Amino acid sequence: MSNDLIIKLPKFAEQVSISAEWITQRDILVKNANEIVAVKNQTDLDFASEILRGITKASNTLEKMRKDLTDPFMDAQKTIKRKSDEARDILEVKKSELQRKIAGYVEAERKRIDAEKKAAEEKQQAEIAAQLAEQEELKEAGLIAEEKPFVPEVTPIIEVAQAPKSYAIRLQDVIEWKAIDDNIIPGAFKTLDDRKVNAWIKENKERLLKGIKENVEAGKIFIPGIEITVTIKPIGR
């Protein structure tokens, strides 16, 4: 018995067509809409409203057809992703664990090498300082000429240790960040969240409508830095 993970996909028609009747209806609606230059009286309103209703109905009809055709595949896509994620979850967990272990070792080795290099440099500087002090003492004692230049004799630093590396992976320094105090983050780094604004407007809809209809300038004071306006949007039935 096979252990393959099988995901069944919906069947899809080889050809999808938008009817000539719908296209003709669309063109007529567009032509009629183009003829409406402005709505100036009740007759114009009735005609424009009828065209708007026809446009809305035609558009919704095609959109429903699209959704009926594509929704099963959108659902299949979600199923494929879910099943794939479930299958690879354990791999991602182990990948993260190994990345942490490798990074920990590499970081420790880098620090050790840096510390050894720093210690060698400090030792070298100490040797130079000792030799300079010794030469100054000899000059004061008159054992060497005053004009004799100082030429230190030190063992050069040989860097034997190298940062760890592996043929199977590439070590990359990644810069990461996290917020630690929202109060002092510069405004340029704060993003306006549409969802939060829309949620607040939804919760305060009646108060906003009343306030703005009474005084249009009120739309500028509800949320500092944001202007809220009320417009009329005709919706086809």
Q: What is the pLDDT of residues 123-146, one digit of tens each?
A: 889 988 988 888 888 888 877 787
Higher pLDDT, 6 or 59: 59
pTM > 0.85: yes or no = no
Task: Please tell me the predicted confidence (pLDDT) of residue 183.
Answer: 85
Higher pLDDT, 160 or 212: 212
CA distances from 8 to 5, 85, 216, 218, 234 (A): 10, 17, 56, 56, 44
226 phi, psi to nearest 5 deg = -125, 135
Q: What is the pLDDT of residues 90-99, one digit of tens each?
A: 999 999 999 9
Task: Please tell me the predicted confidence (pLDDT) of residue 160.
Answer: 64
